[in-house]
Amino acid sequence: MHEVDVEKILSGTPDVRIKRIYENAAASDGLRVLIDRLWPRGVRKENAELHHWARDLAPSPRLRQWFGHDPKRFAEFRRRYSAELAEKSEELSALARHATQEPVTLLYGAKDPEVNHAIVLKNEVLRFAAEARVRGGGKRYI
């Protein structure tokens, strides 16, 4: 387990990061979660240093194929993927809660760091966390 930042827990501020799975793992990554539906090419499972593989948080195969990492489709992809994630509140809640205790690094295989599903998922986790705090009257998560 990683060292717990008590001040961070008390503030209730989630720390969610994104990183390509091909980058080296770092102690500062905290909980490392692969968010691709398919295993990334060229990465050996024993070298990935994963804590969890959240296949169900990846875009549906149909949406992923439609998107094709085309920057022109990113705005619509963001809308559609956010709609898919709306059905995953339990998983988003778990990530948000964990991110108040230690960093959560969402790992993805896409080449483009500006146009990928990890950006959308990170924003949805943070949005979910903020809404949970508002619903809870300023308390930490559900």
> Can you give the residue ranges of every domain in the chain?
6-135
Identify the pLDDT of residue 13.
85
Whose CA is closest to 112, among 71, 75, 72, 63? 71
Identify the pLDDT of residue 136.
64
What confidence tens digit (pLDDT) does each residue in 48-95 have?
999 999 999 999 999 999 999 999 999 999 999 999 999 999 999 999
Rounded-to-10 torsion of CA 60, 61, 65, 66: -40
Full-model pTM? 0.86
The more confidently predicted of residues 43 and 139 is: 43
